[in-house]
Amino acid sequence: MGYSIQLSELRLAVSRASFVSTRPVAEAGFFVSGGKAQMDIQNPIEDLRLAALDAYPGLDCIVRFVSFPEEGPFGETFFPDDGSRPVVQVAVGIPLEGSIEVMAHELAHVVAGHDAGHGPAWEAAFAAIHAAYVARAAAHPEVG
């Protein structure tokens, strides 16, 4: 059984953009040090992964980025019948801001459990992941 995020939810998520990193981005992302060019990449997907693990250190799932039809869904969470690790799937054809929001949404399903739907346990998990993401961004405002 799985849960999925639909187009109306994605539009709300992207308009809210609550999971977009608040860290400043260096002018071009390139720095010159000792005659060698360096590039630091700010990766909000990795930031979200680490934030989710900050909030839930035992979180155990597989996250995949996959192609979905244009109309959605934009994310799904599957809980395999054999009890193996849950699988989160996030659409690749959406804006990055949407991908972050969808991934957080689906990770909250993993934390809340198979039967939680979008009830209080899911809401609490989503809020905790969001708070950890914001805290991580605030604690590491520098790029690199």
Q: How high is the pLDDT of residue 137?
A: 83
Beta-sheet pairing, 87-91 with 62-66: parallel
* pTM, entire model: 0.74
Gap between the Cα atoms of 132 and 52, Å rounded: 7
Q: Give me the chain's average pLDDT, please.
A: 80
Which pairing describes strands 75-78 and 87-91: parallel, antiparallel, or unpaired? Answer: antiparallel
- Alpha-helix residue ranges (DSSP H) falling in 2-143: 7-16, 44-55, 96-112, 120-139
CA–CA distances in Å: residue 75 to residues 36, 122, 144: 40, 15, 30
CATH code at 2-139: 3.30.2010.10
pLDDT tens by residue, 112-142: 999 999 999 999 999 999 999 999 888 866 5
Q: What are the boundaries of each domain within the chain?
A: 2-139
Distance CA 3, CA 45 (A): 20
Which among 24, 22, 5 has a CA at the least distance from the CA of 68?
5
